[in-house]
Amino acid sequence: MTTSSGSRPARRQLHLNAFLWGVGQHEAAWRHPLTTESDVLNVAHYQNLGRIAERGKLDSLFFADALQVDSRIKHNSLFLLDPVTLLSAIAVATERIGLIGTASTTYSDPYTVARRFATLDHISGGRAGWNIVTGHQLEEAANFGLDAPPLHSERYARGAEFVDVALELWDSWEDDALRLDVESGLFADPDKIHTIDHEGEHFRIRGPLSSPRSLQGHPLLVQAGSSEAGKDFAARYAEAVFTAQYTLEQGQEFYRDLKARVVKAGRSADDLKVLPGFYPFIGDTEEEARALEQSFNDLKSTEFALKQLSVIVGVDLGEDSLDSPLPPLPSVEDFDGQKSRLQLVKDLAGDGKHTVREVLELLSGGRGHRTFVGTAEQVADEIELWFTEGAADGFNIMPPYLPGGLETFVDRVVPILQQRGLFRTDYTSTTLRGNYGLSEPVNRHVAIPSEATA
């Protein structure tokens, strides 16, 4: 098969995102001698991470978020800074790397979120992405005057309308509405700026947005839920999905399922990139990599890990339960927290075959994401396997410690992937959407000529 110009189509390319948390994904990273604990609040640290990722030609950076302080704060907290504000600081220190931040549809309003991400998109020259989440934690609800978070189905219903409104707001300025015509004195063409007059079940918003349309049309839409509702939501809206899949077979099943849903939703399968989490410890030898991992695990807090697992499964677990089988867990159907993460623990636990301590070891650091310990060559082999065997379009790289873990991946793994022709040697676009191989969305107020008149 050839393109219309007669040349062969470009080889499919990996997409790589850096998932950054403080000084590393490992819960004890802040205690390790390979990190500097005060960097958790150091903007220069995060700007440096952006430059490292950009040196490796990675597609994007990603910051998760939660709107609460919970009982795990004694040992760690990964949500100390607002991600969009932080990404704005990284934007001015970088040129090409994409900038993806999290914002909740449960505890935010569409106008404010749309404007925040539009602003980030303008500051960065079209490199912004929005990771769409629905809040499910009790502590979050309490911070917004609620006794409990909305039910799972209600959160997704609100989330869908929320995203619809944000898309309308981003389209409320046509591409050429901002004129800045000094001679005529025309700042903006009011005929090309539209109210949206949205009236729905959850929102009533007049519009237009107070920020013009951005260079890439609107920010890239990212989603991380893997429940049935989450996958349907992703099939309708998402352009990238961050997911936790522990084995190749699980990854292949999720990939096939989600791509089929995208097609069923009337989109091309290529319109959505599936990026499983990948949590690597990299050494010159396997033994060195295992020793590196153990040096971090030796600093873990059992109390922290138990509280984290308790949140995931909705069951209070104490230290007296460590050497007992994991107790019966709620059914996924009836669970109102993160359904996909509960299912992952059920799969790992093997119906009571593992003790709580063993489950904690399986979840250590990667929290159910693909964990890999080995040499740079072996890491590249594993990435290539998942990519070529239909389990991923790329990966959400989760360095256990920062900046060293990211530097090692960029300087030692990326060149191998480039040599194999799997990953770019330079950026192909100035926008995040362009580097993901996605076209700019057409503004709904622009008439698209029919085939008969084209």
Write the pLDDT tens digit of every residue in 19-54: 999 999 998 999 999 999 999 999 999 999 999 999
Flag whether pLDDT at 4 surpasses 50.
no
3-state secondary structure of 46: helix
Percentage of the chain surpassing pLDDT 90? 71
- Bond from prior residue into 208 cis (ω within 30 degrees of 0): yes
Beta strands 370-374 and 15-19, pairing class:
unpaired
Q: Domain 15-287+367-435 class?
A: alpha beta
* The amino acid at 207: G
22 contacts 80 by C-beta, under 8 angstroms: yes
- The chain-wide mean pLDDT, for the chain, equals 89
The predicted structure's pLDDT at residue 74: 79
| Residue 127 and residue 431 in contact, taking contact as beta carbons nearer than 8 Å | yes
Q: Are 18 and 62 in contact (CB under 8 A)?
A: yes
Using CA atoms, how far apart are residues 242 and 226, in angstroms rounded to an integer? 9
Measured distance CA(166)–CA(114) in Å, rounded:
5
Find the farthest-apart pair of alpha carbons in the chain and give their distance in angstroms, rounded: 78
pLDDT value at residue 143: 92
Q: What is the pLDDT of residue 5?
A: 37
- CATH 3.20.20.30-classified regions of the chain: 15-287+367-435
pLDDT tens track for 257-275: 999 999 999 999 999 999 9
Of the listed ranges 1-5, 30-34, 380-384, 428-432, the least confidently predicted one is 1-5
Summarize the confidence of residues 316-326 as an average pLDDT: 74
CA–CA gap between residue 237 and residue 233 (Å, rounded): 6
- The residues near 322 (Cβ < 8 Å, ≥ 6 apart) are 302, 306, 355, 356, 357, 360
Cis amide prior to 400 (ω within 30 degrees): no
Note the pLDDT of residue 453: 44
Mean pLDDT is lowest, of 12-16, 147-151, 194-198, 446-450, for 446-450
**CA 101 to CA 86: how far, in whole Å?**
9
According to the model, what pLDDT value does residue 400 have? Answer: 96
